[in-house]
Amino acid sequence: MRKHSLFCLAIVGACLFLLVGYNDQSKKVHHSKMISVAHRGASSLAPENTLAAFHKAVELRADYLETDVHLSKDGELIIMHDDKIDRTTNGSGYIKEMTLAELKELDAGGTFGREFEGESIITLNELLEEFYDQVGFLIELKNPKNYPGIEEKVVELVKDYYEFSSIIIQSFDADSMMKVHTLLPEIEVAVLIHPSESLLSAKRLDELTSFASYINFNVSFVSKRTVDNVHKRGSKVLVWSKKDKRLVSKAQKFGVDGIISDFSAWPTDEPIYLVQE
Ligand code: G3P
Ligand code: CA
């Protein structure tokens, strides 16, 4: 009987060991230092929101890839900043009026540089599949009110990845982020604060931090006091900026938790902070 108990204990122990070992394979970002987020990928070095920009960001040891998501006419999650394809591709029109097949015909690299011709528009699914075991993701829902059901689609997709990779969903639309939080509380959400609304009342901060793990600002429109007020409520702050080192040092002085910049190696040149090497 005693032997039998010991045998059962050993089996349980082995299962726990395997389980813990399995979880250790995840590529969760360890938030002990200021994190470096590549804005639309390393978008100062390669065409924004393309595989080239994301590969460059990973090569430069970004902790997270920031990206923007819309819905195509046939309901696919499309990665692009603007709601129109005009600025970054050789086509013209709204993403929501085109099918994925039509979008895939376009060139998304040539407007940045001839050496990038042939880059195509990608889906959120393709992005996650390509990088989920290498880096975290900061996924912005662009104007979600224009895309009914986008929250459900994104949640359904990231469910397959969040155990392996750090994922944050963000938007300027706080209601949309509340919805994502309700649909999948295990996923962290962030509310982006528009510069015109950066003077947040204590009541508004209480509301936002009740569900948002991050409150994110343009670095020019945040104060140390605001950062402290977010931290006091248990949430974190990311700021976005381009390559203005003065602003970054300001952000560091304010004690923000990370910077979203177009050049992912900067400002943190140190190795990425992954639990499992
Ligand atoms: O992640 C912050 C930033 O991406 C928000 O602005 O216009 O670059 O999407 P935008
Ligand atoms: Ca964005």
- Predicted local confidence at residue 272, as pLDDT: 34
Per-residue pLDDT tens digits for 177-189: 999 999 999 999 9
Among residues 256, 277, 229, 220, which one has the least CA distance to residue 36?
Answer: 256
- Predicted local confidence at residue 248, as pLDDT: 73
The pick from 81, 171, 191 for probing ligand 1's pocket by mutation, whose C-beta has the most ligand atoms within 8 angstroms, reads: 81
- Predicted local confidence at residue 262, as pLDDT: 85
Ligand 1: nearest atom to the Cα of 138: 1
- Predicted local confidence at residue 30, as pLDDT: 55
Q: How large is the average pLDDT for residues 235-241?
A: 93
Per-residue pLDDT tens digits for 11-39: 554 544 444 444 444 556 655 578 889 99
Catalytic residue (choose from 31, 55, 81, 231):
81
Residue 269 pLDDT more than 90?
Answer: no
- Predicted local confidence at residue 17, as pLDDT: 44
81 is catalytic: yes
Residue 273 pLDDT more than 60?
Answer: no
Structure tokens at 219: 């670095």
For ligand 1, atom 6: residue with the closest CA = 240
For ligand 1, atom 3: residue with the closest CA = 240
Catalytic residue (choose from 39, 55, 70, 181):
39
Structure tokens at 178: 């509340």
Q: How large is the average pLDDT for residues 69-87?
A: 98
The pick from 192, 238, 256 for probing ligand 1's pocket by mutation, whose C-beta has the most ligand atoms within 8 angstroms, reads: 192
The pick from 39, 82, 137, 260 for probing ligand 1's pocket by mutation, whose C-beta has the most ligand atoms within 8 angstroms, reads: 39
39 is catalytic: yes
Per-residue pLDDT tens digits for 97-143: 999 999 999 999 999 999 999 999 999 999 999 999 999 999 999 99
Residue 66 pLDDT more than 90?
Answer: yes
Residue list, ligand 1 pocket, CB within 6 Å: 39, 66, 68, 81, 140, 192, 240, 260
Q: How large is the average pLDDT for residues 64-77?
A: 98
Q: Average pLDDT of the chain?
A: 87
- Are 41 and 130 in contact, with CB atoms under 8 Å apart? no
Report which of residues 3 and 235 the model is more confident about.
235
* Three-state SS annotation for the chain: CHHHHHHHHHHHHHHHHHHHHHHCCCECECCCCCEEEEECCCCCCCCCCCHHHHHHHHHCCCCEEEEEEEECCCCCEEECCCCECCCCCCCCCEHHHCCHHHHHCCCCCCCCCHHHCCCCCCEHHHHHHHHCCCCEEEEEECCHHHCCCHHHHHHHHHCCCCCCECEEEEECCHHHHHHHHHHCCCCEEEEEECHHHCCCCHHHHHHHHCCCCEEEEEHHHCCHHHHHHHHHCCCEEEEECCCCHHHHHHHHHHCCCEEEECCCCCCCCCCCCECCC
CA of 66 to the centre of ligand 2 (A): 6
- Predicted local confidence at residue 18, as pLDDT: 44
* Three-state SS annotation for 170-230: EECCHHHHHHHHHHCCCCEEEEEECHHHCCCCHHHHHHHHCCCCEEEEEHHHCCHHHHHHH
- Predicted local confidence at residue 164, as pLDDT: 85
